């Protein structure tokens, strides 16, 4: 039995469907390696297209959130996930110069022209914050500059604490003299401990170990 002829509408829909399959917009990806100096990463697309695993995309520019002179930068690691955003045209020339340019490659909507936006996570790996709270977490947080080294500390509180310790040392010494007429071993030990804490405050020992600010 002969097949019915293919109509013009069916042909158009087939062509349109095949064309749409080749248009890439965005897809989840995972960092395979990261180059800090160039702020680029080799990224593996993790959602297969037409049942085939896409190749790892080398040297993808990693998106930096910011505005004006302000920005947020993160220490990207292998395995970090995010979203590969496909540009409609090649942006390589613009990335190198920052001016209005013509694309070097005329290809459009291809994964090879993507940038990597970090932070997209699965529902099982997505951190949360208490209601009304803003959480900035990390083992090494730097405010103002990537080279910030001055540790965050509540200076007024530490000054008051240091004064209190000094008064306590004076009080211990006075009690010893009033009771024993001479400093007791216990009083000497306590005064030494108080002195060590006071010196530690002056040296900056009682500070947040993970948050640094710009001098």
pLDDT in tens, 47-83: 987 777 888 999 999 999 888 888 888 889 999 999 9
Q: What is the pLDDT of residues 142-182, one digit of tens each?
A: 888 888 877 766 566 667 777 777 778 787 888 877 887 87
Q: Over 60: is that where the pLDDT of 215 sits?
A: no
> Torsion over CA of 56, 58, 64 and 65, rounded to 10 degrees?
-30
pLDDT band at 46 (very low <50, low <70, confident <90, very high): very high
pLDDT at 99: 77
Mean pLDDT check: name the lowest of 23-37, 144-158, 182-196: 144-158
For the four alpha carbons of 66, 71, 72 and 77, in that order, the dihedral sign comes to positive
| Helix, strand or coil, per DSSP, at residue 150 | strand
Distance, in Å, from the CA atom of 75 to the CA atom of 118, rounded to the nearest integer, reads 11
pLDDT at 166: 79
- Which of these, 73, 95, 79, 75, lies nearest to 44 by C-alpha position? 79
pLDDT at 22: 67
What average pLDDT does range 27-52 have in this prediction? 91
Q: Which residue has the higher pLDDT, 154 or 118?
A: 118
pLDDT band at 29 (very low <50, low <70, confident <90, very high): very high
Distance, in Å, from the CA atom of 199 to the CA atom of 194, rounded to the nearest integer, reads 9
Q: Over 70: is that where the pLDDT of 207 sits?
A: no
Q: Over 60: is that where the pLDDT of 1 sits?
A: no
pLDDT band at 30 (very low <50, low <70, confident <90, very high): very high
What average pLDDT does range 78-100 have in this prediction? 86
The DSSP 8-state label assigned to residue 63 in this structure reads P
Does this model's pTM top 0.95? My answer is no
pLDDT at 15: 64
The mean pLDDT value of the chain amounts to: 80
Q: Over 60: is that where the pLDDT of 31 sits?
A: yes
């Amino acid at each position: 039995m002969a097949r019915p002829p293919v109509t013009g509408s069916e042909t158009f829909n087939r062509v349109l469907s095949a064309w749409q399959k080749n248009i890439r917009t965005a897809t989840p990806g995972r960092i395979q390696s990261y180059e800090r100096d160039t702020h680029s990463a080799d990224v593996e697309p993790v959602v297969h297209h037409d049942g085939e695993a896409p190749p790892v995309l080398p040297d993808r520019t990693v998106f930096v959130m910011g505005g004006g002179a302000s920005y947020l930068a993160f220490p990207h690691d292998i395995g970090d996930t995010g979203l590969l955003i496909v540009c409609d045209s090649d942006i390589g020339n613009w990335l190198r110069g920052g001016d209005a340019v013509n694309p070097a490659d005329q290809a459009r909507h291809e994964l090879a022209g993507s940038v990597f936006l970090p932070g997209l996570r699965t529902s099982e790996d997505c951190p949360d914050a208490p209601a009304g709270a803003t959480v900035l977490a990390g083992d090494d947080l730097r405010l103002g500059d990537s080279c910030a080294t001055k540790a965050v500390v509540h200076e007024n509180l530490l000054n008051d604490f240091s004064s209190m310790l000094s008064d306590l040392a004076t009080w211990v010494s006075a009690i010893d003299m009033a009771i024993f007429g001479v400093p007791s071993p216990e009083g000497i030990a306590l005064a030494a401990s108080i002195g060590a804490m006071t010196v530690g405050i002056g040296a900056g020992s009682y500070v947040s170990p993970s948050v640094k600010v710009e001098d």
